[in-house]
Copies of this chain bind each other. A is one copy, B any other.
Amino acid sequence: MIVWLEKGADASYVQRVLADLGLWALRLDGPEGTVGFSVQPWSRKVPLETLRGIEGVASVAAPASSHRLVDAATLPVEVAGVRIGGSRPVLMAGPCSVETPGQIEQVAGRLAARGVTFLRGGAFKPRSSPYAFQGHGEQALAWLRRAADAHGLKVVTEALSEASVPAVAEVADLIQVGSRNMHNSALLQAIARRGKAVLLKRGMAATVEEWLQAGEYLLFHGASAVVFCERGIRSFDASTRNLLDLGAVALLRHVHQLPVVVDPSHALGRRDLMPPLARAALAAGAAGLLVEIHPSPGQALSDGPQALRLDDFDALVDSLETATPAIRTPPAPPAGRADRAGR
């Protein structure tokens, strides 16, 4: 954003007013005493009209937003009857991979009892190595849906390829786009065209602006809503698996007014730090949490070391209820199969 001064205006005065408003302004000098200020992107957001009203300001120009549909979204969004981004945080939890019908059924039962609304679980797994377990595919989708329905839960699961979009869209209430695919515009389009809500994980090195533009792809091509998900970005420090960026979460929630959930499991990779960071995420403005759970992490086919055991999860929810009273609010009564018809 640029603030251009009238000739002869008191540039120091204008700079002081901008600083007072919370704007980092870099002074630019032109010929014949013309002066402008380039406003740094990490400045506080201030209405253009306020800036135009400053004495000595001739003109204020800003780039057109490249994500108009995202900007126009309002809080909360509703996904399969669940409000995300309202006063009550939404819990999404489940195993990294859906491994057996029994595993997902056991987990679903326990989670439903603790106020979880969305059951997560991977049927198609994005893996760095072609030799790693790639997920049980379509049959896992069926197990996941069945377990969710049995306990009145909604389903969030990832679509990894254009080819798998129809099958995933058939069972998911909220279709997940993984970190590795945030920049994959072909997949974004294929998913969006199903008209459902999408959980959009941030790319490992994506700027907030690129993340919002990926959201724009989704809305532009027909997604009914976008829920953003921060899951940690790449860092130079190996002491946590990724670097959780709660500044970005606060930015999305408080400046852009968007629903954003946090995945502390991938962000940290450390089970022992989950409770404090889950509480911090909610304090920063997260609309909910996406947490990996496993009844027996040592048996997990993927990401076991970061999965919470069922007991750990109970402790996490207890801790959240203490810190965030709203989370205790009873969820809507389990909707059961009747609701599925209306999805």
Q: Is the CB of A36 within 8 A of B19?
A: no
Q: Is the CB of B185 within 8 A of A184?
A: no
The answer to whether A142 has its CB under 8 Å from any CB of chain B is: no
Q: Is the CB of A30 within 8 A of B238?
A: no
The answer to whether A297 has its CB under 8 Å from any CB of chain B is: yes
* Copies of the polypeptide in the assembly: 4
Which of A64, A240, A271 lies at the interface centre, i.e. has the most chain B CB atoms within 10 A of its CB? A240
User: Which chain B residues lie closer than 8 Å to A235 at the CB level?
Assistant: 233, 236, 245
User: Which chain B residues lie closer than 8 Å to A36 at the CB level?
Assistant: 2, 4, 61
Residue of B whose beta carbon sits closest to that of A34: B59
Give the Cβ gap from A70 to chain B, nearest Cβ, in Å.
Answer: 11
Q: For A161, give its contact among B186, B247, B282 (CB under 8 Å).
A: B186
Q: For A237, give its contact among B19, B43, B208 (CB under 8 Å).
A: B208
Q: Is the CB of A205 within 8 A of B234?
A: yes
Q: A183-B126, A234-B205, A297-B20 are in contact. Are A268 and B239 (CB under 8 A)?
A: no
Give the Cβ gap from A2 to chain B, nearest Cβ, in Å.
Answer: 5
Beyond contacts A42-B269, A186-B187, A247-B268: 15 other A-B pairs, Cβ-Cβ < 8 A, are A21-B305, A22-B306, A29-B62, A34-B61, A42-B241, A44-B305, A66-B129, A126-B185, A128-B183, A163-B186, A184-B184, A236-B236, A243-B243, A250-B277, A280-B284
User: Could you jot down 12 A-B contacts, CB within 8 Å?
Assistant: A2-B30, A20-B298, A22-B297, A26-B63, A30-B62, A38-B63, A126-B185, A130-B216, A235-B236, A238-B238, A239-B247, A255-B272
